[in-house]
């Protein structure tokens, strides 16, 4: 096929040509796998709400499989992209503050702040070190990790009215003493590689950091001291969360999830559980609390495109509940809202799955697919809308296409069963430049050529690589 053709059509346009003789599904997307419950040989079996399973076979001419006709979800979701901003540099991290600000960290030395309600840039924090790998907002504090393997803590008090953050401390604390400065470079209390994730324990006033140097460190904010440091995994640590009992949960490229607890009365930690369901690298974790039933769920996203989940009910132990075949390629980020699980993937898509059912009979269904990015979705964040009668939430996403998007998702009332899942027409924005050089991207302009990361050659190469890895395993 003439290579020029790929620069005139989008990936999803090419995929639609493969099924032009078939009835068009009501969803606007096509994917090789869409949450099948079983895979047998070369056939995917999809559940049907009121009939026997429907079979969909892969086309011998394509690595993709047609999506099955969707059924009406019990509680429809409606979404729209309310803003799409071109960012300076690649965004590596997003975090939302309760002050109504969302922060982005990138491979520049700026931490940018945006107002949640109107998506206007509020200002930025100039740092001395570029590449902000991880951000974490808690209360009036902002934690940021940098490529100098240090963490900076910022005071955000009153920043919603007058944006003037103050740096509280740098971890580890710097010293003017040349001898101490020399020793600190070889001190085991400082990370030796990228700090990829952070989590904060409010009760103990301790910040946890995970790094690609395979270690977890805990920092006491009162005096800035590293009170514990231990090797947690055999490979890069990619994400971490703290559950309601104070357990520290870490995931790694070694394919394991580990649960750690601080020894009572001490500062050091001990391993309590290792969750290992398959050998694929795990890139993302998310916790979801179900307060009504006094249970919590731990979700993980891995390189094979699956979301695995574990349940915790009246116990400190996590038990594996199952897996969701969510994406074609690696899942890079996860967040949750109520009973919804939001995932961002290397396949450029953001998917929202709804959890339902009782203990022992938990179900997940894909209710929304957010399309718009032209590169892998690297990071996500989410927050509830502050309107009193609002039944929705906001999703913030960033991609390697250097765009930062804000999505509004509304949950329709359950009694309106005649409503079906639909995509609202996205807003159109006039391209313009702001003071810092960021420009607003016209969301309606989809005539851009196919992204290099999703060229047909790249897709086939990626799929063949996964097939070869499966044969070796």
Best CA proximity match to 167, nearest among 147, 151, 183, 149: 151
The pLDDT of 90-110, averaged and rounded, is 93
Task: Judge contact between 233 and 212, C-beta under 8 A.
Answer: no
Report the SS3 class of residue 279: coil
* Closest to 68 (Cα-Cα) out of 53, 87, 80: 53
More confident residue, 188 or 280: 280
Q: 413 in the Ramachandran plot: left (φ > 0), alpha (ψ -120 to 50) or beta? A: beta
**Percent of the chain predicted with pLDDT > 70:** 66
DSSP 416-448: -TT---EEPPPP-----B-TTS-EE--TT---P
Confidence category of residue 473, pLDDT binned at 50, 70, 90: low
pLDDT tens column, 136-150: 999 999 999 999 999
228 SS3 class: strand
Neighbours of 23 (CB within 10 A): 7
Confidence of residue 67 (pLDDT cuts 50, 70, 90): very low
Q: What per-residue confidence (pLDDT) applies to 264?
A: 87
How much is the pLDDT for 78? 86
Residue with token string 């709400």: 49
Question: What end-to-end distance do the CA atoms of the chain give, in Å?
Answer: 34
Query: Where does residue 385 rank: exposed (0-12), middle (13-18), buried (19+ CB within 10 A)?
Result: middle
Tokens for 291, please give them. 């307060």
- Lookup: tokens for 373: 């990015």
In this predicted structure, the answer to whether residue 437 has a pLDDT above a threshold of 60 is no
Residue that is written with structure tokens 């979705």 in the block: 377
Whether the per-residue pLDDT at 421 is higher than 60: the answer is: no
- pLDDT over threshold 90, residue 378: yes
Measured distance CA(7)–CA(295) in Å, rounded: 49
Can you give the pLDDT at residue 312? 85
Determine the average pLDDT of the residues in 422-447: 35
Residue-wise pLDDT for 338-361, tens only, equals 899 999 999 999 999 999 887 678
Query: Would the pLDDT of 298 be above 60?
Result: yes
Q: Comparing C-alpha atoms, which of 126, 115, 50, 9 is closest to residue 446?
A: 9
Closest Cα partner for 242 from 275, 195, 202? 202
Tell me how far the alpha carbon of residue 373 is from its chain's centroid: 14
Secondary structure letter of residue 273 according to DSSP: E
User: DSSP secondary-structure letter at 184?
Assistant: H
pLDDT tens, residue by residue, 203-213: 999 999 999 99
The pLDDT confidence band at residue 465, using thresholds 50, 70 and 90, is low
Q: What percent of the chain has pLDDT over 90?
A: 49
DSSP state of 69: P
| DSSP helix/strand/coil, 110 | strand
Which of 355 and 62 is assigned the larger pLDDT? Answer: 355
What is the pLDDT of the chain when averaged over all its residues?
76
The alpha helices in 8-167, defined as continuous H runs, are 11-17
Residue 418 has pLDDT above 80, yes or no: no
Between residues 199 and 79, the one the model is more confident about: 199
**Residues 246-251, mean pLDDT to the nearest whole number:** 96
Residue 406 zone, left/alpha/beta (φ > 0; ψ -120 to 50; rest):
beta
Contacts within 8 Å (CB) and 24+ apart, 159-165: 159/97, 159/99, 159/101, 159/113, 159/122, 160/99, 160/100, 160/101, 163/113, 163/122, 163/123, 165/125
DSSP states of 3-40 as a string?
GGGGGTS-HHHHHHHTTTTSPPPSSS---S----SEEE
Helices marked H in 65-171 — which ranges? none
The DSSP secondary-structure symbol of 158 reads T
- Give 168's contacts (C-beta < 8 A, 6+ positions apart): 141, 153, 154, 155
Tokens of 463: 């799929």
Predicted pLDDT at 51? 35
């Amino acid at each position: 096929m003439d290579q020029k053709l790929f620069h005139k059509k989008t990936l999803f346009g090419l995929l639609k040509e493969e099924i032009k003789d078939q009835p068009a599904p009501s969803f606007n997307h096509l994917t090789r796998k869409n949450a099948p419950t079983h895979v047998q040989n070369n056939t995917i079996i999809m559940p049907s709400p009121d009939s026997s399973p429907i079979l969909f076979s892969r086309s011998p001419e394509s690595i993709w499989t047609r999506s099955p006709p969707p059924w009406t979800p019990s509680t429809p979701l409606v979404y729209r992209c309310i803003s799409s901003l071109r960012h300076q540099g690649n965004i590596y991290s997003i975090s939302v503050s309760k002050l109504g600000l969302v922060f982005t960290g990138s491979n520049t030395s700026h931490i940018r702040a945006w107002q949640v309600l109107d998506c206007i840039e509020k200002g930025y924090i100039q740092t001395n070190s570029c590449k902000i790998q991880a951000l974490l907002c808690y209360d009036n504090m902002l934690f940021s990790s940098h490529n100098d393997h240090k963490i900076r803590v910022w005071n955000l008090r009153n920043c919603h009215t007058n944006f003037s953050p103050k740096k509280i401390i740098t971890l580890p604390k710097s010293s003017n003493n040349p001898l101490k400065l020399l020793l600190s470079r070889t001190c085991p209390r400082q990370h030796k590689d990228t700090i990829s994730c952070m989590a904060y324990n409010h009760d103990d006033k301790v910040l946890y950091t995970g790094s690609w140097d395979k270690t977890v460190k805990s920092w006491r904010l009162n005096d800035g001291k590293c009170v514990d440091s231990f090797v947690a995994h055999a490979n890069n640590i990619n994400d971490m969360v703290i559950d309601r009992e104070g357990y520290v949960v870490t995931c790694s490229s070694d394919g394991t999830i580990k649960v750690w607890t601080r020894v009572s009365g001490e500062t050091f930690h001990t391993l309590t559980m290792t969750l290992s369901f398959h050998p694929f690298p795990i890139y993302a974790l998310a916790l979801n609390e179900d307060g009504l039933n006094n249970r919590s769920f731990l979700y993980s996203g891995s390189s094979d495109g699956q979301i695995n989940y574990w349940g915790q009910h009246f116990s400190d132990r996590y038990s594996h509940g199952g897996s969701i075949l969510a994406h074609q390629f690696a899942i890079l980020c996860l967040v949750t809202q109520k009973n919804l699980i939001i995932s961002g993937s290397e396949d450029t898509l953001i998917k929202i799955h709804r959890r339902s059912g009782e203990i022992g009979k938990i179900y997940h269904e894909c209710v929304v697919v957010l399309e718009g990015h032209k590169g892998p979705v690297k990071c996500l964040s989410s927050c509830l809308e502050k309107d009193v009668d609002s039944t929705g939430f906001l999703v913030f996403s960033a991609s390697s296409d250097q765009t930062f998007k804000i999505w509004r998702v509304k949950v329709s009332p359950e009694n309106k069963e005649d409503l079906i899942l639909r995509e609202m027409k996205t807003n159109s924005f006039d391209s313009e430049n702001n003071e810092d050089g960021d420009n607003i991207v016209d969301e309606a302009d989809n005539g851009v050529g196919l992204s290099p990361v999703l060229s047909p050659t790249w897709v086939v190469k990626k799929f063949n690589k996964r097939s070869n890895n499966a044969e070796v395993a």
